[in-house]
Homo-oligomer: A and B are copies of this chain.
Amino acid sequence: MSPSVIALLHGPDQPGLVARTAGWIHQRGGNVLHADQHLDRDENVFFQRVEWLPASNHSIEEEMGSFRELVAGELGMQVRLARSDQRPRVALMVTKADHCFHDLALRQRAGEWDADLVGVLSNHETLRSVADSYDLPFVFHAVSRESKADAETEQLAWLGEQKVDLLILARYMQVLSAGFLEKIGCPVINIHHSFLPSFAGARPYHQAHKRGVKLIGATAHYVTQDLDEGPIIEQDVARVSHRHGAQELIERGRDLEKLVLAAAVRRHLQHRVLVYGNKTVVFD
């Protein structure tokens, strides 16, 4: 099958945007596979995801370039383009908990994503054998207060060499520095084990247990320099009761964390997530 183009665009609303993009694609002989749009009436911002097969007489590079001219040039909107035949390169960061690691690796193997797992970074040796079992490179850097800057430099170097398109913090128990986030040059998705904004920070299940909530949650979000404050991609909850101690919340939370992180990663890799301000538009 010839590759398709996926465009995520947004900008100030103006009349005829759907007609302009759909008309452009149609006139060049392209075939729209999926189109969805959203208008934020409060902010007057128009959002669109459109995926199409270019006509065979247009190379995909030419199609993408011309579309960018239309949207970024004529229409004055921001646009992100992807092609269906380029498999994103994904890296994981982990510490000691392995449930999200196994879950993501098995989903990738099962073909749930059109993406490659290129390796695993960790601040502990604990999960090296798990990485080995999936034939994944495992790169260890000790991270202490003193070594953190050096470790991050080396982590960035490795991620750069690997040309990573997405970094997933699969229960990585270190805060990434502002400098790291500025330099990384690709999105970073984290799973936080609470229903944010409740119980940000450390030991969220203990906080939840202490407060006596009747539901626990998990939140997948893009990482920004404000800890646990980045744009939320996906959340879910599970019912608990007085019978569950903090330890049982931790155990029950694992399934939530796996599902919520996997859903966020899948949507991101399908180019369905648009960030604006501190929020996301997630096209189904």
Residue of B nearest to A214 (CB): B235
B36 A25 Cβ-Cβ under 8 A: no
Q: Which of A16, A47, A212, A236 has the most CB of B within 10 A?
A: A212
Q: A22-B22, A232-B214 given as contacts; is B195 within 8 A of A281 (CB)?
A: no
Contacts of A198 in B (CB 8 A): 195-198
Tell me if A231 is interfacial: C-beta within 8 Å of chain B: yes
Tell me if A185 is interfacial: C-beta within 8 Å of chain B: no
Within 233-284 of A, Cβ neighbours of B (below 8 Å) are at: 233-237, 241-243, 245-246, 251, 255, 259, 277-282, 284
Work out how many copies of this chain go into the complex.
Answer: 4
Tell me if A112 is interfacial: C-beta within 8 Å of chain B: yes
Residue of B nearest to A16 (CB): B26
Q: Chain B nearest CB: distance from A100 CB in Å?
A: 12
B242 A215 Cβ-Cβ under 8 A: no
B197 A38 Cβ-Cβ under 8 A: no
Q: A31-B15, A214-B234, A232-B212 given as contacts; is B99 within 8 A of A110 (CB)?
A: yes
Measured CA separation A237–B196 after assembly (Å):
13
Contacts of A259 in B (CB 8 A): 255
Contacts of A19 in B (CB 8 A): 19, 22-23, 25-27, 32
Within 190-249 of A, Cβ neighbours of B (below 8 Å) are at: 195-199, 211-215, 217, 231-237, 241-243, 245-246
Q: A22-B19, A31-B15, A37-B35 given as contacts; is B211 within 8 A of A197 (CB)?
A: yes
Contacts of A281 in B (CB 8 A): 242
Tell me if A148 is interfacial: C-beta within 8 Å of chain B: no
Q: A19-B23, A19-B26, A102-B106 given as contacts; is B197 within 8 A of A243 (CB)?
A: no
